[in-house]
Amino acid sequence: MKKKLCVVVPYRDRQTHLDEFVPYMQNILAGQNIDYHIMIVEQADGKPFNRAKLLNVGYHHTKPEYDYYCFHDVDMLPLDSDYAYCDAPTHLAAAAEQFGWKLPYPQYFGGVTIFNSESFELINGYSNEYWGWGAEDDDVYRRVIRKGLTPLRKNGRYRSLHHDRYIPEFEYKQNVDYLHRSASLIDTDGLSTLNYEVVESITLDDYTKIKIEI
């Protein structure tokens, strides 16, 4: 039976990117003969952006409809990348324009990743405690390793859409500090402790957008 993919996109205040991303991905996934649905998870204003928690929401809101999930930043457009089903947690964005078409560091596991449902449940999803920019991808990579899974990488190439990047130093330091003490928190921080409220929802044939309070 053909595997069904859900592409989960964390989002806030990037309408120009979203307008380009959705039709671009629809074309790419249809061309690869993927049975897919795109889920945009928009965070309401009021708190620092929490990318990882939005990814958890996208998974939780759609399970058990899909066999595997692609967690995908809205500012990364594939030039050459394979979205087929993977048994193991798999990183796709090995060569992104914003990083000079190479990995920023060997364990980089961000931008675009694929998990099947079983693997994502095993690692308890992403942490919900990374607010603002940074460290949530390093955390999920460590979760994969600690749960005895082997992370894989496909050599995908991605064009990066431009945006201004502001990284509050205090929030980033908090995230790094949390990463250093997160080893024992896998089972008590993630899908099992997720809470959110859907305040708006729009669904089309292959595209859903929900706005949430977290």
Q: Phi-psi region for residue 171, left (φ > 0), alpha (ψ -120 to 50) or beta?
A: alpha
Q: Tell me, what's the pLDDT at 46?
A: 83
For residues 52 and 71, give the distance between their C-alpha atoms in angstroms, rounded to a whole number.
Answer: 9
User: Which are the contacts of 184, defined by CB distance < 8 A and separation ≥ 6?
Assistant: none
- Please, are residues 11 and 74 in contact by the beta-carbon 8 Å criterion? yes
Query: Which helix (H) or strand (E) segment is 167 a member of?
Result: none
Alpha-carbon torsion, ordered 79, 83, 89, 95, to 10 deg: -10
- Please, are residues 211 and 200 in contact by the beta-carbon 8 Å criterion? yes
Q: Which residues of the chain have a pLDDT value below 70?
A: 163-170
Domains with residue ranges and CATH for the chain: 4-213 (3.90.550.10)
For the whole prediction, is pTM greater than 0.85? yes
Terminal CA-CA length for the chain = 36
pLDDT tens figures, 150-203? 999 999 999 999 866 655 666 778 888 899 888 889 999 999 999 999 999 999
